[in-house]
Amino acid sequence: MTGYRLPNSGLVDRAATLEFRFDGKRFTGHAGDTLASALLANDQLLLARSFKYHRPRGLVTAGVSEPNALMTIGSGARTDANTRATVAELYAGLEARSQNNWPSLKHDVGALNNLLSPFLSAGFYYKTFMWPAAFWEKLYEPLIRRAAGLGRAVLESDPESYEKCWTHCDLLIVGSGPAGLSAALTAGRAGLRVVLAEQDFRLGGALLSETTTIGEQTAPAFAETVLSELGTLPNVTLMPRTTVFGWYDDNVFGAVERVQKHVAQPLAKLPVERLWRIAAKRALLATGAEERPLVFGGNDRPGVMTASAIGTYANRFGVAAGKSVAIFTNGNAGYRTAEDLARQGVGITAIIDTRADAPSRSAEALKDVRIIKGAGIIDTMGGQRLNKLVFERSGYEEVIACDAIGMSGGFNPVIHLACQRGARPVWSVELDTFVAPDVGGGLSIVGAAAGRYSLSACLADGAEKAATIAADLGFAATSYEAPAVGEEVDPSFTALWYVPGAKSKAFVDFQNDVQARDLGLALREGFGHVEHAKRYTTNGMATDQGKLSGVNAAGILAGMRGVSPAEVGITTFRPFYTPVSFGALAGTARDMHAAPKRVSPLHGWAERNGAVFVEAGLWYRSSWFPREGEKTWRQATDREVLNVRENVGLCDVSTLGKIEVFGSDAAEFLNRLYCNPMAKLPIGKARYGLMLREDGIVYDDGTVSRFGENHFFVTTTTGLAAGVLSHMEYCAQILWPELDVRFTSVTDQWAQMSIAGPKARDVVQALVEDDISNKAFPYLSAGVVTLKGGLKARLFRISFSGELAFELAVPASFGESVADAVMEAGRAHGICAYGLEALNVLRLEKGYVTHAEFDGRVTPDDAGFGRMVSAQKLDFIGKRLSTRYGLTAADRMQMVGLKPVEKDKTIRAGAHLLKEGAKPSTINDQGYVSSASFSPVLDHDIALAFLKSGRERYGERIVVWDRLKNEETVAEVCEPVFVDTQSTKLKV
Amino acid sequence: MASLIHCPHCGIRPKEEFTVRGDASLVRPEPDASDEAWHEYVHIRANPRGRTREHWQHLYGCRRFLVVERDTVTHEVYSVTDGAAAARGGSR
Amino acid sequence: MLFQSRHPLESKIGSGSSIRAVDHLEIPRSVAIATVLSHPDETAAVVAGFAAAGDLVMRNVAPGEWLVLSHIERSDSLERRLSGLLTDIADVVDQSEGRVLLRLSGPNVRRILAKGVAIDLDPSAFAIGQSVNLRCGHIAVNFARSGENEFELVVMRSFAESLLEDLLLMGREFDLSYGFSGGLADPD
């Protein structure tokens, strides 16, 4: 093969010369070239090494199905591996590198595999690398991965940006060839919202490579005319560089638009790729047809391409694939390529036609060309560059010199999208290939994708089907009538799955190096089912997903089994049609945009007070407030805890879920929702509430306050706020729709702060007009108060620290200002800000529970709340199953406290409990530690734990066994309350 | 699973706006129903092939629990109706 | 004592963009917002009540549930007025502090919003005055079309910063500007 640029033809802009590099070498091409066409124009034939045998490979196609010419494009972090050169749009400064070779593409050591190929048959890996098992991970896999390979991913973070977008249309047309364009024009003129998506950077599809005329125009000029009209229609969206890769339920299509893959320096404000979800009322698949390669000896030598690829390079890109081209065909299409080339002055050595009865062609351009009927190529020669072919006819072999072979094995409609949702392709005897079945009203197949190969048929079919769709959707439409087409290609062919007599390897799947005989081996070894053969041979498992090899493999298997390909079938089509980058799939959802961040209304106050924040679900919560000289979280936390116990502290509790509940049945609803009684909660009072799951296990806890006969206010834990709201909605809507109850979340309406400590009342009273003495506002009071200056607030006398405490809720945007005022009022009382860590220690010292205890296995009784569960209530969520034996057994694990016997020993959450002297085992497991921390009040570690029959075992010594830290601590079991055990401080 | 759900209150929405709760045909037993009835209700779930009725909550929309009648094989959605209305009508 | 109110986007927005672009994200500093929950079978009466009030902006949330907005009233007076207007037929909850309003306007806002919003934004499918709850990116919002090329998003306060950041990223392609109402970039 000798690639060179033809003098006049093609659609490239010869005035615009673009410089690029391949394997470090400098080349030039033109605007409108692909990387492949530019390399071919520069006579760079050797582009890759094959996956398994490292055989030299060149271009096979001019489009998305390319199995060989995979390149690494770009540099540094902006590197894309495994890009098909045939679809990579050329730009100035493009840098491409070949893959899977060492030390170089020309001299590749891995090519030794080719000599070993008798040992590397299909299934070789399965058979050889089985034993010993330990060798797989350490030896075999790394070796195979290094030898067999694609490009390497870069390790740097991807600097490019991506995004996702929705669009909606009446009609999505996939493909902008003749059928797509006539459909778009028909639908567009009728007023439908049309999206026309084309994977190529230039719209026009097959028309761009066509040499016939439409009306008075050349095919590409005709395409331009249609496109310019479409461009004036506001209801038509043209989307070049957009691959529709998947068809999903409800006619939603996935597409990826390469916005800036064709520029050296992408603009920062635009993504490089955009992932589209296209919700289409209807869709037309105008994806054309793919020419089949022929399976013959030596069919992978650089210089052997599909005839249509050679035609496309000549007609669209103005590049000749060789100076003496041989055409190997089983149908009439190959002759057309030969004619196109001959008319452009490219030498045609011979046309080898497998059909003995091939009709005689009388094209003027081919009058001097040797036409050999009833013959087949059995070998090729020339190492890394084709220079001869050997054909066989009637037992005689002959060698012909040539530098390119165009193979034409018939056509396969591109039906992938239509068969991605479970529909199986069906065999068409008439077309000798698989076609899409009827897949329902949402998606119709049109033009060559529907087996209508001629240009006039495509134009008519597109217009007709679009008009039908328009009418279905209520639009008045008339089919666009295209001008008459000049000379048409006769697409008829006689299928030939395998050219007999191969004298060297005959490849079916070029990318995975699968030969015809590998399929035979699969069949002999019992893997003859098309899906088994695929896995056994890896045919169709490469990045091209068998676009060229699938139908040929089915045909070969059918031939060997002596059945029709209809019986063999073809492997399943799945998204994605062509590879889609992870970046595009992620869109903007990365880094800070990966998940929303919820900010407390007191966030600014916490920042000003030096808070260190911690992520708690989506929230950012203040964790501790280090002061000058404090180096660890423990130092800050210990000080905060002691200060709350001695003076007073302020903690942000705004993140608790808050729900306002109304209705004449609100009390009844809450009574059924919580396991403890709520119906008779007095107005102005708050009550601790425990919610169960229907299986009797604790779900969540919080407080319920009553502001009116039919008005309650419910809080949830931060973590389950969303879940509890949904649970309440389910109960109200589905379980008890007869109850008059409604509610809404007010979590974000209130900034809520806990002011806790012996001096809390002094501090709060300084801000509040109302009397909040213990008499006027005793423990568990809840009400609306007026802050000095007139701001309305809510005040709750509840405590999660065991200290005298108030929770003050103020309208969120006043939160920071009020918190500042609290700190100011508390200054004389030694107030400090305290965070989640101190909150946790304070509650642990009092034995108060959190979701560390309520971990989805714990009943109310396990946690010491057994007496709270109402026996009187007729029904509540979880009532029935909470009484079953398993949840009431005497040996259940019950919550206890733990104190290390030696005070300086550590207890950690997650550790397991063992009897002294018992070996660690599941059978000997006595329980586990749910929460643990250092108590600055007691000056040693304390813990809450669940221990078998724990409440009977106070005073017993138990081993706390921490496998992760390899530590054992002997602890004393005690009542789960460590500080102020008589609760004298709470109600003063 | 469907890509788009036609919420009777909000219109056509992507499935990402919904959460699936599960079988919509379950009826919560009376408090004094048998152990067996409660066990069935809380623990036993069918995994039907074909037509099925499920509760989906339109979490990002109206927050209503909807009854989605769909086919687990073809993913066709036959109907989407308000769950409370169905519960009131006793047609679960 | 005089307590200061602080808008949740105060520190993120500051004085906003220096130049107002054709596509602009405007954040009114003060909007009174209330949730209205209709009593059973009183939906029609509630809607009639809104209509009688004349000057209230209603946003659909769910059957029998709305957000009611007022740009002129204070939050407490809106809550009082609604409670009076809807006595015995609905419950009213002040959400003025719990919700943030963001207004997007300009010729490209539909293209900007399509990056986060799945519904069809064509006026034939989503007309002026329509409102729904929906998902914008990862965040639940109440979404309304207030003009041919103007949309309003009401978001929970704690999500406002993230939504702002998402919208600015979505609008980057069109140099979306932003600022509080009456800010530097706002000609009004």
In terms of domains, do A726 and A808 share one? no
Q: Is residue A483 included in any domain, yes or no?
A: no
CB-based contacts of A382, cutoff 8 Å, min separation 6: A301, A303, A388
Q: What would the mean pLDDT of C7-35 be, rounded to a whole number?
A: 94
Q: What is the pLDDT of residue A107?
A: 81
Of A433 and C71, the one with more pLDDT = A433
In terms of domains, do A170 and A283 share one? yes
Q: What is the pLDDT of residue A8?
A: 85
Name which of A39, A46, A36 is nearest A107 in CA terms.
Answer: A46
Average per-residue pLDDT for chain C:
94
Name which of C8, C115, C169 is nearest A593 in CA terms.
Answer: C169
Chains that touch A (3 or more CB pairs under 8 A): B, C
The A612-616 sheet, strands edge to edge: A598-599, A619-624, A612-616
pLDDT 10s digits, A259-312 = 999 999 999 999 999 999 999 999 999 999 999 999 999 999 999 999 999 999
Query: Is it the case that residue A541 has pLDDT exceeding 70?
Result: yes
Query: Is it the case that residue A83 has pLDDT exceeding 90?
Result: yes
Q: Which residues in chain A have their CB less than 8 angstroms from residue C175's CB?
A: 269
Q: Looking at the partner chain, which of A593, A748, A817 has a beta carbon nearest the beta carbon of C3?
A: A817
**CA dist., res. A764 & res. A796, Å (int):** 11
Q: Which residues in chain A have their CB less than 8 angstroms from residue B29's CB?
A: 880
Stated as kind and residue range, the H or E segment containing A97 is strand A95-97
Asked whether the beta carbons of A85 and A66 are under 8 A apart, the reply is yes
Q: Which residues in chain A have their CB less than 8 angstroms from residue C1's CB?
A: 767, 787-789, 821
Q: What is the pLDDT of residue A324?
A: 96
pLDDT 10s digits, A187-200 = 999 999 999 999 99
Query: Is it the case that residue A625 has pLDDT exceeding 70?
Result: yes
**CA dist., res. A951 & res. A866, Å (int):** 12
Give the residue numbers in A contacting B (CB under 8 Å), as ranges: 166, 248-250, 252, 277, 279, 421-422, 694-695, 726, 729-730, 732-735, 737-738, 874-875, 879-881, 884
Strands (E), A519-636: 598-599, 612-616, 619-624
**CA dist., res. A802 & res. A846, Å (int):** 6
Q: What would the mean pLDDT of A542-566 be, rounded to a whole number?
A: 94
pLDDT 10s digits, C97-119 = 999 999 999 999 999 999 999 99
Q: What would the mean pLDDT of A907-914 be, rounded to a whole number?
A: 98
Whether the predicted interface score ipTM is above 0.85: yes
Yes or no, beta carbons of B55 and A735 under 8 Å apart: no
Q: How many Å lie between the alpha carbon of C55 and the closest alpha carbon of chain A? A: 24
pLDDT 10s digits, A850-888 = 999 999 999 999 999 999 999 999 999 999 999 999 999
Query: Is it the case that residue A61 has pLDDT exceeding 90?
Result: yes
CB-CB neighbours of A313 under 10 Å: 28
Q: What is the pLDDT of residue A757?
A: 98
Q: What is the pLDDT of residue A804?
A: 98
In terms of domains, do A518 and A452 share one? no
- For residue B14, is the peptide bond before it cis, meaning its omega torsion is within 30 degrees of 0? no
Instruction: Please tell me if residue A601 touches chain C, with a CB cutoff of 8 Å.
Output: yes
Residues A8/A12/A17/A22 CA torsion (nearest 10 deg):
-110
Interface test with B, best of A164, A166, A168, A249 (most B CBs within 10 A): A249
Interface test with A, best of B28, B41, B72, B82 (most A CBs within 10 A): B28
Give the residue numbers in B contacting A (CB under 8 Å), as ranges: 1-4, 12, 14, 19, 21, 28-29, 31, 33, 35, 38, 41-43, 55, 57, 59, 63-65, 74-75, 77, 83-84, 87-88
**Topology (CATH level 3) of domain C13-29+98-180:** Gyrase A; domain 2 (3.30.1360)
Buried b (16+ CB within 10 A) or exposed e, A268-294: eeebbbbbbbbbbbbbbbbbbbbbbbb
CB-based contacts of A198, cutoff 8 Å, min separation 6: A175, A176, A180, A205, A238, A239, A240, A241, A242
**CA dist., res. C115 & res. A376, Å (int):** 55
Interface test with C, best of B4, B7, B13, B57 (most C CBs within 10 A): B13
Q: How many Å lie between the alpha carbon of C94 and the closest alpha carbon of chain A? A: 8
Side-chain half-sphere exposure of A966, counting CA atoms within 13 A: 0
Q: Is residue A303 included in any domain, yes or no?
A: no
**CA dist., res. A416 & res. A243, Å (int):** 13
Q: Is residue A380 included in any domain, yes or no?
A: no
> Which chain C residue shows the shortest CA-CA distance from A749?
C98
Q: What would the mean pLDDT of A758-768 be, rounded to a whole number?
A: 98
pLDDT 10s digits, A118-176 = 666 776 666 665 566 666 666 666 666 565 568 888 899 999 999 999 999 999 999 99
In terms of domains, do A696 and A815 share one? no
Q: Looking at the partner chain, which of B12, B38, B65 has a beta carbon nearest the beta carbon of A730?
A: B65
Q: Is residue A187 included in any domain, yes or no?
A: yes
Query: Is it the case that residue C187 has pLDDT exceeding 50?
Result: no
User: What is the longest distance spanned by two Cα atoms in chain B?
Assistant: 42
Q: Which residues in chain B have their CB less than 8 angstroms from residue A738's CB?
A: 88
First and final CA of chain A: distance in angstroms? 98
Yes or no, beta carbons of B4 and A734 under 8 Å apart: no
Q: How many Å lie between the alpha carbon of A591 and the closest alpha carbon of chain C? A: 12
> Which chain A residue shows the shortest CA-CA distance from C37?
A742
Tokens of A20: 């690029």
In terms of domains, do A186 and A253 share one? yes
Side-chain half-sphere exposure of A941, counting CA atoms within 13 A: 24
Average per-residue pLDDT for chain A:
95
Q: Which residues in chain A have their CB less than 8 angstroms from residue C172's CB?
A: 269
In terms of domains, do A914 and A984 share one? yes
Q: What is the pLDDT of residue A365?
A: 87
pLDDT 10s digits, C158-178 = 999 999 999 999 999 999 999
pLDDT 10s digits, A572-606 = 999 999 999 999 999 999 999 999 999 999 999 99
Class of domain C32-94: alpha beta
Q: Looking at the partner chain, which of C3, C37, C99 has a beta carbon nearest the beta carbon of A821?
A: C3
Stated as kind and residue range, the H or E segment containing A426 is strand A426-428
Q: How many Å lie between the alpha carbon of A573 and the closest alpha carbon of chain B? A: 16
Phi, psi of A750 (to 5 degrees): -120, 135
Yes or no, beta carbons of B16 and C133 under 8 Å apart: no
pLDDT 10s digits, A826-847 = 999 999 999 999 999 999 999 9
Q: How many Å lie between the alpha carbon of B50 and the closest alpha carbon of chain C? A: 28
Asked whether the beta carbons of A777 and A988 are under 8 A apart, the reply is no
Show me where the domains of chain B are located.
Answer: 4-88
Q: What is the pLDDT of residue A111?
A: 75
Stated as kind and residue range, the H or E segment containing C154 is strand C150-156
Give the global pTM.
Answer: 0.95
Work out how many CB contacts closer than 8 A connect A with B: 63
In terms of domains, do A680 and A820 share one? no
Q: What would the mean pLDDT of B68-79 be, rounded to a whole number?
A: 95
Q: What is the pLDDT of residue A53?
A: 85
Chains that touch B (3 or more CB pairs under 8 A): A, C
Class of domain B4-88: alpha beta
Q: How many Å lie between the alpha carbon of A585 and the closest alpha carbon of chain B? A: 15
Instruction: Please tell me if residue C127 touches chain B, with a CB cutoff of 8 Å.
Output: no
In terms of domains, do A649 and A787 share one? yes
pLDDT bin (cut points 50, 70, 90) of residue C180 is very high
Interface test with A, best of B65, B66, B67, B76 (most A CBs within 10 A): B65
Show me where the domains of chain C are located.
Answer: 13-29+98-180, 32-94
User: What is the longest distance spanned by two Cα atoms in chain A?
Assistant: 116
Q: Is residue A60 included in any domain, yes or no?
A: no
Q: Provide the CATH number for the domain around residue A513.
A: 1.10.10
> Which chain C residue shows the shortest CA-CA distance from B62?
C62
Average per-residue pLDDT for chain B:
94
Yes or no, beta carbons of C161 and A597 under 8 Å apart: yes
Helices A178-190 and A455-472, packing angle to 10 deg: 30
Strands (E), C13-54: 24-27, 32-38
Q: Is residue A700 included in any domain, yes or no?
A: yes
In terms of domains, do A646 and A664 share one? no
Q: What is the pLDDT of residue A360?
A: 82
Yes or no, beta carbons of B82 and C119 under 8 Å apart: no
Query: Is it the case that residue B45 has pLDDT exceeding 70?
Result: yes
Query: Is it the case that residue A647 has pLDDT exceeding 70?
Result: yes
Q: Looking at the partner chain, which of B10, B59, B82 has a beta carbon nearest the beta carbon of C132?
A: B10
Q: What is the pLDDT of residue B19?
A: 97
Tokens of C86: 């809807």
**CA dist., res. A929 & res. A976, Å (int):** 12
Yes or no, beta carbons of A880 and B59 under 8 Å apart: no
Q: Is residue A685 included in any domain, yes or no?
A: yes
Chains that touch C (3 or more CB pairs under 8 A): A, B
Which range of residues forms the domain containing residue A739?
657-745
Query: Is it the case that residue A908 has pLDDT exceeding 90?
Result: yes
CB-CB neighbours of B35 under 10 Å: 11
In terms of domains, do A708 and A786 share one? no
Q: Percentage of chain A with pLDDT > 90? A: 90
Q: Which residues in chain C have their CB less than 8 angstroms from residue B85's CB?
A: none
Q: Provide the CATH number for the domain around residue A820.
A: 3.30.1360.120
Query: Is it the case that residue C188 has pLDDT exceeding 50?
Result: no
Q: What is the pLDDT of residue A140?
A: 65
